Amino acid sequence: DAGVIQSPRHEVTEMGQEVTLRCKPISGHDYLFWYRQTMMRGLELLIYFNNNVPIDDSGMPEDRFSAKMPNASFSTLKIQPSEPRDSAVYFCASSPRSTGELFFGEGSRLTVL
Amino acid sequence: DQQVKQNSPSLSVQEGRISILNCDYTNSMFDYFLWYKKYPAEGPTFLISISSIKDKNEDGRFTVFLNKSAKHLSLHIVPSQPGDSAVYFCAARGLRGRDDKIIFGKGTRLHILP
């Protein structure tokens, strides 16, 4: 059974460019979470969805960040325009409703030059 | 304002001894707590959890203790092994009500010394 799949694994881009990170959650999971990991802040929750509906996006840093979940098997996190301070590892995770356990993808390492 | 706090950024423990990682939380609505382990260049993986109706949960070498009155939990690893060297994240979730989000602490890097 495939776990949470994220792409790309690594992205290097220049300041001002648009970045799109993708996530395929585990089939049957009701929840999908986007986290960002940095040295200073650890694992920050950016946004989470329940049954494809965004529930809480209070962690999204600013309007440059947006996330969508058009169906149960796909989500995107977009940064436009990107800035060097957005450099981090972005994790997607999914969870069934019945337990509190999160299953993480391997992360997308973003470097903005 | 951090709702889940891991005040020790790093911890070094001799192989074979007990490792104790601590975590404090501020929101009394949290009713489910989890520990995750993370190796470099990998996503965090689930280690052990505890519901707020319990005060202890054990799984092999790993035991989590919950003190609700103090809003404190700890992870005990005994005996510690070299493969336990990793970053450990404490997390909290409210499964009741509308607050389903999972909040993580900043992590504690555990070094197991030979």
Say whether residue A70 is in contact with chain B using an 8 A CB cutoff: no
Q: Which two tokens stand for residue A70?
A: 């058009």
A35 pLDDT exceeds 70?
yes
**pLDDT mean across residues, chain B:** 92
Q: Which two tokens stand for residue A65?
A: 């960040």
Q: Which two tokens stand for residue B111?
A: 């070094």
Confidence of residue A40 (pLDDT cuts 50, 70, 90): confident
For residue range B21-31, list pLDDT tens digits in order.
999 999 888 88
Q: Which two tokens stand for residue B92?
A: 């909290």
**Strand partners for A45:** A35
pLDDT more than 90, % of chain B: 81
Please calculate the CA angle B51-B63-B84 and round it to the nearest 5 degrees.
125
Q: Is-cis flag, bond preceding B44, omega within 30?
A: no
Nearest to B102 by CA among B44, B34, B11, B37: B34
Q: Which residues of B touch A100 (CB under 8 A)?
A: 32, 34, 49, 93, 95, 102
For residue range B85-114, list pLDDT tens digits in order.
999 999 998 765 556 788 899 999 999 999
**pLDDT mean across residues, chain A:** 93
What DSSP designation does A59 have? T
